[in-house]
Structure 1
Amino acid sequence: MPVAPPRPLTPAPTRRLMLALLAAITVTAGTVAAPAASAAPPAPPAPLGPTVTRTDQAPTGYTVTFRYQAPADVQQVHIYGDWFYSRPENIGCQDCGDARPPAEWQPGDVAATPWHTQAMRKGPDGVWTFTTPLPAGTFRYAFTHDCANELATGCALHDDPANRWQIQPQYPGAPGAVRSTIYVPASRKFPTYDTGYQAPVAKVGRLESRRYPSPLSTNPAGVHDIVVYLPHGYDPNRATPYPTLYLSHGSGDHSTAWTMQGVAHLILENAVKDRAAQPMVIVSTDFNGLPGGNEGYVNELRDNIFPFVEQNYHVSTRAQDRAFAGFSAGGSRAYTIMYNHTDLFGYHAAWSAGGPAATPAQVDSMKAVTGGIMIGTGLQDRLGNIAENSQRNAAALRAAGVELDEYNVPGVHTWHVWRPLLDHYLRTLAFRATTTGLDVTRSSAGGSRQTKVTATATVDAVSTSASAPAGRVDFYAGDTRLGSAPVRHGVARLTTTVRGELNAPVVARYQGDKLFNDSHSDPVDAR
């Protein structure tokens, strides 16, 4: 009969367990087995400040989480940001409208005032947090401590220590309490606003806070402040000096406003990156503490600011190499300059300001501006009927024969309007003007039945520039197009043959390029 196999000395389940343990543990002779690995260390706490997160979810495709460490005795913290929205048609007055928070953002909304506070939540770590969707763009924000007023009226505003602007107010009592900003990119899945021109850039220049002598200044006495931006790659020994853009803030701000809140330097560098503007020096001025109103500000520019900037930086001293722009109260100053002191600047821009009617003498001065004039506003700006008055004034100037660029955008009296106005100014007007001269000769060709025409156009930039105009020039004899020629080293030359005599004057029309605007010559009779 068959013999039964021997029984194992250890029960099968126990044996399998031992084999598994032996397979899992490797023991080296003469050593003790290594202990099991310790648990992973806890994740570090989230950083303070704002964090932008792409969600690809409605309504904007992005959220921002703010983390803020308030003093221990604070019982409630609110965030105070310029991100409330309204349908344009519902804004019937300044500081009114739908006032919807960004979680309720809808396509076609405009950012509207007033701001409102939103409650933050205190976590177990003692950090106050708030998360909200935000559309694309640059936003200002601050925090309130134990503030019961929804509009933060009468409450102190605290900037974000983890996101503090690099240049703080230069003197005690300088207005402009909100000094923290955040940029949110655009979502492809949930497009909101085209604000890529405000985005941070890899190649950025240098911001400088400067104090200059000012016998006119009463605060600070005897000195005054500007913020200077030197563009990326600024070369103090460049063969050609840089053009200069002078900017004025509005009421309640000072010289840091245009770079901190307006991100003017980023708007410039994005335009330069796109080859839509050339590098320039930006000077952000401060009209606080200057007596004499608008004329006192003009005196400060001419007598103190220009000399200081032109002595300390490699910028041109010619008027056609200076541009000016201001909004609100700064727009009022811009009108004073373009009406009464057009000789100080080659380019002028007045934004979100109604402007008085121009006299015939002021109209004549504006017609002589060598560069260009821009007027713009937010279309729903009801502060003193600014939107209506700005458009009325622009129409009156055009009717009087002043050539100007009117550019208006949806919005009220906020930075969400002034940033796109600056972008338009840089990409379409400032330091882009050209002149086109023309010389025409003719000779007989093939008897009296043909005329050989040589037209030579000279295209020059009105303002200083490290590059020359490029592109093409079209040549016309009356309504007849003779042909076109490329611009090389500022010259475009066309030689062609026409039938019969050349009876009409010739005009050269420069088409412009990405850096320079078009221009045309006066009609010239062939010699």
Structure 2
Amino acid sequence: MAAGTLAAPAATAAPAAPLGPKVIQTDAPPTGNLVTFRYKAPEGVNAVHIYGDWFYSQPENVNCNDCGDGRPPSQWQPGDIPATPWHLLPLKRGADGVWATSVPLPAGTFRYAFTHDCTNDLATGCTLHHDPANPWQIQPQYPGAPGAVRSTIYVPNNPSFPTYDNAFQAPVKPNKTGKLESRRYTSPLSTNPAGVHDVVVYTPWGYDPNRATPYPTLYLSHGSGDNSIAWTMQGVAHHILENAIADKAAQPMIVVSTDFNGLPGGNQGYANELRNNVIPFVEQNYNVSKRSQDRAFGGFSAGGSRAFTVMYDNTDLFGYHAAWSWGGPAANQAQIDRLKAVPGGIHIGTGLQDRLGNIAQNSLARVAALKAAGVDIKEFNVNGVHTWDVWRQMLNNYLRNVAFRTTTTSLEITTAPAGNSQNLKLTATARVGTVTNGVAFPSGKVEFYAGDNLLGSAKVQNGIATISKNFHRGLLDDGPIVARYQGDKFLNNSQSAPVNAV
């Protein structure tokens, strides 16, 4: 270097883009969002593909299992449903050795994994690798647990390109989320792991182990090929719950995700495990109610099969029952009688294009038969196939419309002469209660009717609503008096038994 000269500063290299997924709002069709995936594969890998549950079809074109349009995300159309089978999409290796691709995705929660040198378009026979930059919070709890470990990404809706209303699945802010725990308990029934078994427990944000009113508990079952981590890591059940709580559509509850693998005795063996081991373990370790009216159950697919066994033959375990994406066997008279006595509610639903074993057709027929037998069923069906897209919607609807929301209304009336003989003073008192003991107390109003005639309404205060008014005797002769509680955000409506006024 010549004397008196300065060396030019070295150019600063731009920082490398981070690994993992990144959601980018593009405001461009078809979905207004683009997700970029960056993945560092091991040395020696010559091809990397991404395998995700994001292929689409119009519902009417799904006329058999794994049938449909099979369009990739870049060809998403309004009215599409996520449909199987899924295919591989290629990644390209950059100069930095990182494999990358960008996928335009609609709103919702998606699972994905990577393959190395896989030549099968459906990833059949290929090992699936999760994204190290985006791992699941909880991993399988024992060696050989079924189910491929993947990664999950949530894509928000772009208002300029509305796709799906899946905001109920959105991840909760870290300072507003509860605690996920992988727990192991003693189980004499379990063969794998021998003598012990596993659950995943979610305690909601603000959980108080010393709360005077014990929490209600929701027990969930996964489907075939999965385990107890499925409902939170794939089904994002904890996000669905916290969003419902934030919307004041559900009250705080404990969620217990069970594992039916390694339990002998089939469906009834699983029910025995719930009764003898799972429920006692949860009640001993968490501040939960021991009343069956404060417990709810739900399961899908093979877990839906177990849900029918729980609902039909172990009805006393839960005050609320749900079975999703399963046709279910016919009920005998004893089972029907038990279902009619369920104090909370029964929720059954399916994806309407679920052709796996004719599940959709069988589910619709089963609900129709139970309703014809006089069983009160809350039916919820959506366009969709045998996928998590359907089961997340099932859980959300269950939480916001059935679980722990049932009320009871009773009515007492008195009448007395008022003025001339054609008038009566009617005092009607409605008492509104909840099936579940929780922190939600009835609010809103009660409407009182004589036949089709509205007599008046009153606000519910401390569980009681009363009207006291004069009526012409002929109006009260139009039919028996009933009280109809209108419900509120937390609680469902209910109606009293009719009471004759005259």
* TM superposition score normalised by structure 1: 0.92
Letter in 2 for 1:488: Q
- Report if aligned partners of 2:21, 2:37 keep a CA contact under 8 Å in 1: yes
Which deviates more from structure 2 when the two are superposed, residues 133-142 or residues 85-94?
85-94
Query: More displaced, 336-345 or 213-222?
Result: 336-345
Give the Å deviation of 1:317. 0.7
* Alignment partner of 1:185 out of 156, 170, 183: 156
| Structure 1 residue 415: Cα displacement | 0.2
Q: Distance in 1 between matches of 2:11 and 2:375?
A: 72
Q: Which residue is equivalent to 1:226?
A: 199
Shift of 1:495: 1.2
Matched, 1:217 2:153: no
The residue correspondences of 1:75-474 to structure 2 (distance < 5 A) are 75-202=46-173, 203-474=176-447
Residue pair 2:139, 2:149 contacting (<8 A) in 1 also: no
C-alpha distance in 1, partners of 2:132/2:469? 69
Q: Which amino acid aligns with 1:258?
A: W
Q: Aligned-pair distance for 1:40?
A: 7.4
Partners of 1:171 and 1:496 in 2: CA distance: 67
2:488 is aligned to: 513
Match for 1:408: what amino acid? Answer: N
In 2, Cα distance between the equivalents of 1:350 and 1:500? 48
Deviation, 1:478, is 2.6
1:46 aligns with one of 14, 17, 41? 17
Letter in 1 for 2:209: P
CA contact 1:140–1:178 (8 Å) conserved in 2: no
> How far off its partner does 1:488 sit?
1.1
In structure 2, do the counterparts of structure 1 residues 80 and 482 end up closer, same or farther at CA, with 3 Å as the change threshold? same
Q: What is the SS of the residue equivalent to 1:448?
A: coil
- 1:188: how far off? 1.0
Contact 1:141–1:178 (8 Å) recurs in 2? no
Q: What is the letter of the counterpart of residue 283 of structure 1?
A: V
Determine helix, strand or coil for the equivalent of 2:101.
strand
> Aligned-pair distance for 1:44?
1.4
The equivalent residue for 1:57 is 28
Unmatched runs of 5 consecutive residues or more in structure 1: 1-32
Contact 2:440 2:491 in 1 (8 A): no
For 1:465 and 1:140, how far apart are their aligned partners in 2?
A: 35
**Partner Cα separation in structure 2 for residue 96 and residue 175 of structure 1:** 26
Structure 1 window deviating more from structure 2 (460-469 vs 492-501): it is 492-501
Question: Residues of 1 paired with 2:258 and 2:162: CA distance?
Answer: 35
Which amino acid in structure 1 is aligned with residue 490 of structure 2?
Answer: L
**In structure 2, distance between residues paired with 1:83 and 1:111:** 6
- How does 1:12-31 map onto structure 2 within 5 Å? none
Shift of residue 454, structure 1, vs aligned partner? 1.2
Question: Which one-letter code corresponds to 2:13 in the other structure?
Answer: P
Q: Which moved more, 1:155-164 or 1:171-180?
A: 171-180
CA distance in structure 2 between the partners assigned to 1:364 and 1:232 by the alignment: 38
SS in structure 2 of the partner of residue 447 of structure 1: coil
Cα 1:523–1:148 shift into 2, 3 Å: same
Q: Deviations over 1:20-71 (max 9, x none)?
A: xxxxxxxxxxxxx9x9995774331111100000001000000000011111
Letter in 1 for 2:218: L
> What letter corresponds to residue 418 of structure 1 in structure 2?
W
Amino acid at match of 1:509: R
How far the C-alpha of 1:94 sits from its partner, in A, is: 1.0
CA-to-partner distance for each residue in 1:108-165, whole Å, 9 max, x for gaps? 1111111111111111111110101000100000011111111111111100111001
Other structure's SS at 2:346 match:
strand
Q: Distance in 2 between matches of 1:38 and 1:488?
A: 76
* C-alpha contact 1:324 1:347 (8 A) present in aligned 2: yes
Shift of 1:178: 3.2
The answer as to whether partners of 1:226 and 1:255 remain within 8 angstroms in 2 is yes
Two-structure CA RMSD over aligned residues (Å): 1.6
The Cα shift of 1:526 comes to 4.4
Preserved CA contact (<8 Å) 1:103 1:133 = yes
Secondary structure of 2:133's aligned partner: helix
Q: Deviations over 1:62-101 (max 9, x none)?
A: 0000011111111111111000111212112111211110
Amino acid at match of 1:88: P
- TM-score, structure 2 normalization: 0.96
**C-alpha contact (below 8 Å) 1:443/1:451 kept by paired residues:** yes
Amino acid at match of 2:488: D
| Structure 2: stretches of 5+ with no match in the other structure | none
CA contact (8 A) 2:128 2:150 kept: no
Secondary structure, counterpart of 2:441 in structure 1: coil
> Could you tell me how far 1:467 is from its partner in structure 2?
2.3
Query: Do the aligned residues in 1 keep the contact of 2:107 with 2:157 (CA within 8 Å)?
Result: yes
CA distance in structure 2 between the aligned counterparts of 1:315 and 1:378, rounded to whole angstroms? 32
Structure 2 counterpart of 1:70, from 32, 35, 41: 41
User: How many residues of Structure 1 are paired with residues of Structure 2 in the alignment?
Assistant: 495
Asked whether the 8 Å contact 1:250–1:329 carries over to 2, the reply is yes
Output the CA distance in 2 between the equivalents of 1:262 and 1:166: 13
Task: State how far apart, in whole Å, the 2-side matches of 1:436 and 1:36 are.
Answer: 87
Comparing 198-207 with 56-65, which one deviates more in the overlay?
198-207
**Alignment partner, residue 28 of structure 1:** none
